[in-house]
């Protein structure tokens, strides 16, 4: 049995950036967007040099920091999925006691990360380049009711038992037949018993970094000096990389609340014939990544026609912001009508179609004093064919 690994949740996040080296766009809870040069972040305050002045804003008031850095070309590597939805792209080197050791091959000078087993849901030795194959693997390993660790072989079979460890040559686990060792090269991926996964998240302000190699990691400490980023992950590993590898910085624990972090009060679905579709958190309805118009989003909701999600607001929020679009997985037939209702009143309505408009940025919606928010997807012109809808980066904004 894996032991519970203690890990530090930082009570105070101090971020210090030196040197005005990085252009950035800051999206603020107030609705304002600031464009300028990122000059400093210190004690959760972000400073931007604008055309004529310097402006400092609390990180808690920031929805997202967007940096104009292109995604690196795909490179063969492995991938870990953590319980908090982080994704670590790197070579799985070996296991040591209660840790998986991962080498970030996009950063050859970076020391290996020691990732606690209890924080990992799924590990892939070879993460495929094809998004279709990625979705197939994600579906295959998505077994929330399993009572054992599962080990998937490249020949299509799978085994179950309790993970022991692996090195360059062999992969070991315990099963009803006793301790078993198989060649590591025959293992495609493995996922852990959900009952043993434990990765509590701090309530304090923290930051999700999206890297240009595909890695997404939540950090509690961050510094920038001479264009080099130094960060500390929630599981205690250090990250050192050039600032040019950072795509976005998204504060968490501030005044911007991801809707995907909330539990809906109700979900209603009306099938066109008989097939039932569930809604999905931070993935599309096919249980793959949220991808619209070629861009992947790490936060959002996947829905299918005809369905609606209801959220209780209880007058706690001032605004709601989202984009909505058809997922990349549609095959040219997707056609839907989407609605946003506040206290049973339609405040936004839009038709989406593979042949016309696939993505729309919803104007910010005032929800001051509102009790209820409903996100609704209705059938369009093609019945329910390919009606895969993504609500992208939906956030509720707390009162200033």
Rounded-to-integer distance, Cα 369 and Cα 316, Å: 7
Rounded-to-integer distance, Cα 320 and Cα 259, Å: 9
C-beta of residue 80 within 8 angstroms of C-beta of residue 98? no
Q: Is the pLDDT of residue 152 over 60?
A: yes
pLDDT at 4: 41
Q: Is the pLDDT of residue 1 over 70?
A: no
CATH of domain 15-69+208-253: 2.30.30
Cβ neighbours around 209 below 10 Å, total: 23
Task: Note the maximum CA span of the chain.
Answer: 72
**Confidence category of residue 22, pLDDT binned at 50, 70, 90:** low
Burial of 340 (0-12, 13-18, 19+ CB in 10 A): buried
Section 8-30 average pLDDT: 61
* Residue written as token pair 């040019």: 244
pLDDT at 223: 79
The string of pLDDT tens digits covering residues 193-244 is 999 999 999 999 999 999 999 999 999 988 777 778 889 999 999 999 998 9
C-beta of residue 353 within 8 angstroms of C-beta of residue 380? yes
pLDDT at 18: 42
Ranges of CATH 2.30.30.100 domains, the chain: 77-196
Structure tokens given for 83 = 């319980």
Rounded-to-integer distance, Cα 286 and Cα 301, Å: 12
Element (H, E) at 137: helix 131-141
Q: Is the pLDDT of residue 109 over 80?
A: yes
Rounded-to-integer distance, Cα 30 and Cα 200, Å: 30
Q: Is the pLDDT of residue 42 over 90?
A: no
Sign of the Cα pseudo-torsion (262, 266, 269, 275, in order): positive
User: CATH says 77-196 is which class?
Assistant: mainly beta
**Confidence category of residue 34, pLDDT binned at 50, 70, 90:** very high
The string of pLDDT tens digits covering residues 311-345 is 999 999 999 999 999 999 888 889 999 999 999 99
83 or 49, which is more confident: 83
Rounded-to-integer distance, Cα 389 and Cα 292, Å: 9
Instruction: Report percent pLDDT > 70 for the chain.
Output: 94
Rounded-to-integer distance, Cα 259 and Cα 279, Å: 13
pLDDT at 138: 92
DSSP 8-state assignment for residue 226:
T
Structure tokens given for 341 = 């209702």
pLDDT at 44: 87
Out of 128-137, 283-292, 335-344, the most confident range is: 335-344
Instruction: Report percent pLDDT > 90 for the chain.
Output: 75
C-beta of residue 54 within 8 angstroms of C-beta of residue 39? yes
Lowest mean pLDDT among 82-96, 131-145, 282-296: 131-145
Q: Is the pLDDT of residue 102 over 50?
A: yes
174 or 23, which is more confident: 174
Choosing among 3.90.1150.10, 2.60.120.1060, 2.40.50.140, 1.20.1730.10, the CATH entry for 257-398 is 2.60.120.1060
The mean pLDDT of the chain is 91
For 166-215, the three-class secondary structure string (H helix, E strand, C coil) is ECCCEEEEEECCEEEEEEHHHEEEEECCHHHCCCCCCCCCEEEEEECCCC
Contacts of 52 (CB under 8 A, 6+ apart): none
Ranges of CATH 2.60.120.1060 domains, the chain: 257-398
* Residue written as token pair 């490249």: 154
């Amino acid at each position: 049995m894996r032991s519970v690994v203690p890990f530090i949740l930082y009570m105070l996040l101090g971020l210090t950036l030196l040197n005005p080296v990085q252009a950035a766009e800051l999206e603020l809870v107030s609705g304002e967007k600031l464009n300028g040069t990122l000059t400093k972040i210190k004690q959760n305050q972000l400073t931007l040099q604008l055309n004529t002045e310097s402006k400092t804003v609390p990180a808690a008031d920031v929805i997202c920091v967007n940096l104009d850095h292109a995604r690196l070309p795909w490179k063969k590597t492995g991938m870990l999925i953590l319980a908090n939805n982080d994704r670590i792209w790197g070579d799985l080197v070996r296991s040591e006691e209660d840790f998986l050791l991962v080498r970030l091959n996009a950063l050859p000078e970076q020391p290996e990360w020691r990732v606690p087993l209890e924080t990992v849901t799924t590990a892939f030795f070879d993460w495929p380049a094809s998004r279709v194959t990625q979705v197939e693997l994600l579906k295959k390993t998505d077994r929330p009711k399993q009572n054992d660790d599962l080990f998937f072989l490249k020949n299509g079979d799978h085994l179950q038992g309790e993970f022991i460890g692996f090195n360059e040559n062999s992969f070991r686990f315990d099963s009803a037949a006793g301790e078993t060792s198989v060649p590591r090269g025959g293992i495609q991926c493995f996922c852990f018993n959900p009952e043993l996964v434990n990765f509590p998240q701090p309530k304090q302000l923290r930051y999700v970094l999206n890297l240009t190699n595909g890695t997404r990691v939540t950090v509690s400490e961050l510094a920038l000096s001479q264009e080099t980023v130094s960060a500390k992950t929630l599981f205690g590993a250090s990250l050192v990389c050039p600032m040019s590898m950072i795509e976005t910085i998204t504060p968490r624990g501030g005044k911007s609340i991801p809707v995907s972090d909330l539990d809906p009060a109700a979900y209603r679905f009306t099938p066109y014939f008989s097939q039932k579709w569930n809604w999905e958190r931070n993935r599309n309805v096919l249980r793959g990544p949220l991808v619209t118009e070629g861009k992947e989003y790490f936060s959002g909701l996947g829905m299918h026609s005809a369905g609606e999600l209801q959220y209780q607001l209880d007058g706690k929020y001032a605004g709601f912001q989202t984009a909505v679009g058809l997922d990349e997985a549609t095959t040219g037939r997707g056609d839907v009508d989407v609605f946003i209702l506040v206290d049973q009143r339609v405040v936004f309505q839009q038709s989406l179609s593979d042949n016309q408009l696939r993505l729309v940025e919803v104007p910010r919606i005032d929800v001051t004093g509102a009790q209820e928010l409903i996100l609704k997807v209705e059938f369009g012109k093609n019945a329910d064919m390919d009606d895969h809808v993504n609500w992208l980066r939906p956030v509720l904004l707390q009162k200033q």
